[in-house]
Amino acid sequence: MSALVDAQHARAREVLGSEALAYYESGAGAELTRREAEAAWSHYRLRPRVLTDVAAVDLSLDLLGTHLATPLLVAPTAYHRLAHPDGEVATARGAAAAGALLTLSARASQPLESVAQAAAGPWWFQVYATRDPAVHRGLAVRARDAGATALVLTGDTPFVGRKPLSDSLGIPGIEDMVAVNSGAHLRPDAATDAADQWPSATTDLVAELAALTGLPVLVKGVLRGDEAARCVDAGAAGIVVSTHGGRQLDRVVPSAVALPEVVAAVGDRVPVLVDGGLRSGLDVLTALALGARAVLLGRPVLWALAAGGAAGVRELLDTLTDDLAHVMALAGAPTLDAVTADLVTRIERPVE
């Protein structure tokens, strides 16, 4: 865990209301998946190269037609105004200042057009399949028109997973936030979320959204190689390996375990991204070595936003990018292309 992530988390615990904190921190079920995510990355060990020229470390990459300064992306998370009054606008500013791509949640608490204006850098838009298809179609088109360069279709949420420890209905002001983009009929509590989601959505939606908007569509929440192949066969331009921060089905395989299988299945066809429990440059280096082209950060961005607004988000992304450059150099990998599978090995009995 990066010291800054720890410090921003501690600060967030001080400034956030208890309901908002519980909403951000909680996972589904008994929270096994949420608790396991971070440790799963430490089940790998690095195999560094020696006597390699690492005088200049280059973290830039091209991802689905967008040039990026860092492989650290902001994961889509809901309701940023719970963390900071400037909400997603502040997140967008912080991400842009760090040269990091923002993925804006379908459940953003500010109009996506306002966030787009603040986003001086590239951004993607995350889509949930809603029971009334006019809602997700309308959002996808608005996002495209506002400048989103890809859509991220979250595939693990036919309805919202049960989280016994948090009920977002208790959070003051949440109803207004929910209505901002999706319409007032979408409500935040688990029971009505379930009614608003579209449990019978299929992979047909991938091609439909791509045809509707002309944008590449990534599928997020994939944890199996064969499922990744099914999504790519259906037209997915990228895959995001994710457990949804342990907030959907509990006791699923950690992202760190699923990632190599997904990369083996589709990594030669589309970029594979990953999120879940990434908290340091070493975690990110491990994910990249296992075949991820880029990684997304969820809760650390929420803590950074609560702790310091746009400046906090920028500090987080800059610090972790710098941390990544540092460990890449020590591992003998001066570019992202040099971060290859031979840099990691899995061990059976990690020291916890």
Contact status, residue 238 vs residue 215, Cβ threshold 8 Å: no
The residues in 69-108 that bind ligand FNR, with binding defined as CB under 6 A, are 75-78, 105-107
Side chain identity at residue 114, one-letter code? S
- Give 76 or 334: the residue with its C-beta nearer to ligand FNR: 76
Per DSSP bridges, beta strands 44-46 and 344-346 are antiparallel
Per DSSP bridges, beta strands 44-46 and 61-63 are unpaired
Closest to 217 (Cα-Cα) out of 147, 145, 152: 152
Q: Rule CB under 6 A: is residue 323 a binding residue for ligand FNR?
A: no
Per the annotation, the verdict on 244 as an active-site residue is: yes
Q: Rule CB under 6 A: is residue 297 a binding residue for ligand FNR?
A: yes
- Give 38 or 132: the residue with its C-beta nearer to ligand FNR: 38
Q: What is the largest CA-CA distance in the chain?
A: 61
Segment near ligand FNR (CB under 6 A), from 87-95, 257-265, 269-277, 338-346? Answer: 269-277
Site string for ligand FNR, 2-31 (x = CB under 6 A): ---------------------xx-------
Site string for ligand FNR, 327-346 (x = CB under 6 A): --------------------
Report DSSP letters for 243-281, one per residue: -GGGTSSTTPPPHHHHHHHHHHHHTTTS-EEEESS--SH
Please, which residues bridge with residue 269 across strands?
A: none
Shortest distance (Å) from residue 349 CB to ligand FNR: 24
Q: CA-to-CA distance for 122 and 96, rounded, in angstroms? A: 8
Shortest distance (Å) from residue 75 CB to ligand FNR: 4
Q: Rule CB under 6 A: is residue 276 a binding residue for ligand FNR?
A: yes
Q: CA-to-CA distance for 305 and 75, rounded, in angstroms? A: 13
Among 188, 260, 298, 308, the residue binding ligand FNR under the rule CB under 6 A is 298
Tell me the catalytic residues: 244
Binding site for ligand FNR (CB under 6 A): 23-24, 37, 75-78, 105-107, 126, 154, 220, 242, 244-245, 247, 275-278, 297-299
